[in-house]
Amino acid sequence: MTIKHPAFTGMVPVDDTALAVTDTGGPGRPVVYLNGSYADQSHWRPVIADLGSGYRHLTYDERARGKSKRSADYSFEACLRDIDAVLKARDVERPILVGWSYGAMLAIHWAARNPERVLGAVSVDGALPHEWLDDAAREHLRKLFRRLSPLFPIGRRLGLAARMSAAQHAEINIEINELYAPSALDPVFDRVTVPTRYVLATGGNLGGDPKLMEQIRANLDPVLARNPNIRISAKVASNHSKILRKDFRAIADAVRELAAPAPTRSSQS
């Protein structure tokens, strides 16, 4: 019997906060979208529109982003707990996780920890191993976010900044860069046993040198050679910040690839 889940737009409580969640409902394969560091769920609209009503789409704003409430804990582990809270509240089983940037790290980590609970994961220009953070870089990031703080109100209206202090913005950025270190990320890749697809951007971005960013993307090559569950689905023309808006079809195609029934033995012969 096919279960048709009701649509939902509202708040889901977790820990000391509540998350703004949108669930289109329906009987289709559930797809859960995980946002960039300071982004809200609005950025996924082109991907959702391309995939259409044959899927059940779940988006939500992380803590202090979008319409979600503030919290005392903005750590990466707290964000992983948020995935569990949303899945439980909306009775979601074996979704495809699609994450952009910071959300890609969430998707890879959660899939590695919960292989029996997820059909697959799509990483959109994120979860790429690199190591550049030292004490000087940490201090540079803290100063950078202090300088950027007057722009936060504008960024919030665009879904690109959180309702956090400059220090909180910086510490999230520092923590995720520490988790990108190969010593931290490689063991996660080695635990991935579900189909995982990457959609990679091209070139630089605001604050990112093109050559450096391309080298960071190339750091994925040893991972692909080591783990056959992880593959590149597409490398697209747009950069990191524009990929959801300009290359949404490539992301939707990666979701379709994971949602397609596995070939049977007879069809392979």
Q: Are residues 65 and 195 in the same domain?
A: yes
CATH code for the domain in which residue 196 is found: 3.40.50.1820
Domain total for the chain?
Answer: 2
Q: Are residues 42 and 157 in the same domain?
A: no
Q: Are residues 32 and 111 in the same domain?
A: yes
pLDDT (0 to 100) of residue 265: 40
Q: Are residues 88 and 171 in the same domain?
A: no
pLDDT (0 to 100) of residue 262: 67
**197 with 114: CB under 8 angstroms?**
no
pLDDT (0 to 100) of residue 267: 45
Decide the pairing of beta strands 17-23 and 55-60.
Answer: antiparallel
CA 45 from chain centre, in angstroms, equals: 15
Helix residue spans in 93-220 (DSSP H)? 102-113, 135-148, 152-157, 166-179, 182-190, 210-218
Q: Are residues 28 and 122 in the same domain?
A: yes
Q: Are residues 116 and 13 in the same domain?
A: yes
Final residue of a domain: which of 164, 180, 196?
180
Identify the burial level of 109 via C-beta atoms within 10 angstroms of its C-beta, where 0-12 means exposed, 13-18 middle and 19 or more buried.
buried
In a domain, 218, yes or no: yes
Q: Are residues 155 and 111 in the same domain?
A: no
Q: Are residues 111 and 21 in the same domain?
A: yes
Buried b / exposed e over 232-250, threshold 16 CB at 10 Å, is ebeebebbbbebbeebbeb
pLDDT (0 to 100) of residue 132: 83
In a domain, 268, yes or no: no
In a domain, 164, yes or no: yes
pLDDT (0 to 100) of residue 1: 55
Mean pLDDT by runs of 10 across the 269 residues of the chain is 85 98 97 96 97 97 97 98 98 98 98 98 97 91 94 90 94 96 97 98 82 94 98 96 96 97 52
CB atoms within 10 A of CB 180: 19
Final residue of a domain: which of 180, 199, 214?
180
Which DSSP category does 208 fall into? B
In a domain, 209, yes or no: yes
HSE (CB half, 13 Å, CA atoms) of 174? 18
Q: Are residues 91 and 157 in the same domain?
A: no
Identify the burial level of 52 via C-beta atoms within 10 angstroms of its C-beta, where 0-12 means exposed, 13-18 middle and 19 or more buried.
exposed
Residue numbers of the domain that contains 67: 8-129+185-259
**Contacts of range 140-146, beta carbons closer than 8 Å, 24 or more positions apart:** 141/170, 141/173, 141/174, 142/166, 142/167, 142/170, 142/174, 144/170, 145/169, 145/170, 145/173, 146/170
